[in-house]
Structure 1
Amino acid sequence: MKAVRLLLAAAGIGLAAYGGWLLVPQLPAAATWLIAGPILHDAVAAPLVGLTGLALGRVLPGRAWRRWIAAGLAVTATLLLIAIPLLWRPHPAPPNPGLQDRDYPVQLAIWLAVLWTGIALGATASHLRRRHLPRGTGEHLEAG
């Protein structure tokens, strides 16, 4: 078993080194995204999600809704950050059939609609379940 682990570790290290070697010519562009991504997240997405969550937390009825909305906002921000390069510069390289011939804005809108439909259904189900619990049994759910 130890030999298999060592072989797998050596293969993984070798493949990681090969991937790093392939990345060297792309390093300036990759460095831009590797640096800009966390900065964009910390300076724009996280505060925007946090402030929106705080604002909605004041008007939403109960913790169940707040938790679902907070999760939806976090996933929405993540989807938007992932989609920015494709929305901003849709064809930075020669087209790859089947990959870059997609309508990214429409697909992003579809994913967001599916996400928020799921959030609404989940929050509604959670709210209804809490409303129909006998008094005293759901208090432990509200504490968290």
Structure 2
Amino acid sequence: MRATRFLLAAAGFALAAYGAWLLRPQLPYAWTWLVAGPVLHDAVVAPLVGLTGLALARLLPGRTWRRWVAAGLAVTGTLLLIATPLVWRPHRAPPNPGLQDRDYVRGLAIWLAVLWACVLLGAAASRLRARRARP
């Protein structure tokens, strides 16, 4: 088991080093996103999701709903963080057909609608399963 862990760790470090080597020419531009992403998540998204979850915990019935809504809030925060650069400012580079010619706001809205539909269906199914399990 120890040898397997060592080999997996060595492979992970080797791949990380290779990724850093490939990123080297773009580093003056990429460092902003490499630093800003975790900082924004820890300073903005995580506290907002946590506070919203605490506020909703008082309104939602039962632990099942709270769990599903907490998971939905966490995924929503992550999606919003990832989508912010694409929605917030136009691209400076010439458009790449098929990549930057999309309507990112509509795509984000669709993903969020699908996510919350799944959260509601999952919570309702869990609640029904819990009711059927009780004698």
Aligned amino acid, residue 59 of structure 1: L
- Summarize the Cα distance change of 1:14–1:48 in structure 2 as closer, same or farther, 3 Å threshold: closer
User: For residue 123 of structure 1, what is the amino acid of its counterpart?
Assistant: A
TM-score by length of 1: 0.78
Matched, 1:123 2:115: no
Which residue in 1 is equivalent to 2:56? 56
CA contact (8 A) 1:90 1:100 kept: no
* Aligned-residue offset at 1:15: 9.5
User: Per-residue displacement from partner, 1:37-58 (whole Å, max 9, x unpaired)?
Assistant: 1110011000000000001111
Q: Which runs of 5+ in 1 are unaligned?
A: 1-8, 136-144
| 1:40 paired to 2:7 | no
Give the letter for the 2:89 counterpart: R
Is 1:100 the equivalent of 2:85?
A: no
Q: Which amino acid aligns with 2:104?
A: Y
Alignment of 1:63-74 (within 5 A): 63-74=63-74
The number of residues matched between the two structures is 126
State the alpha-carbon separation in 2 of the partners of residues 16 and 92 from structure 1: 29
Per the alignment, residue 31 of structure 1 pairs with 31
**CA distance in 1 between partners of 2:82 and 2:61 (Å):** 31
AA partner of residue 66 (structure 1): R
Cα deviation, residue 16, structure 1: 5.1
Determine helix, strand or coil for the equivalent of 1:59.
coil
2:20 paired with 1:20:
yes
Name the amino acid aligned to 1:28.
P
Rg larger in structure: 1
Paired AA for residue 106 in structure 1: R
The alignment yields a C-alpha RMSD, in angstroms, of: 2.2
Aligned residues: percent identity?
73
Tell me which stretches of 4 or more aligned residues in structure 1 moved more than 6 Å: none
CA drift at 1:89: 2.1
TM-superposed deviation, 1:21 = 4.1
Q: Residue 70 and residue 14 in structure 1: after superposition, are their counterparts in 2 closer, same or farther (change >3 A)?
A: closer
Structure-2-length-normalised TM-score: 0.83
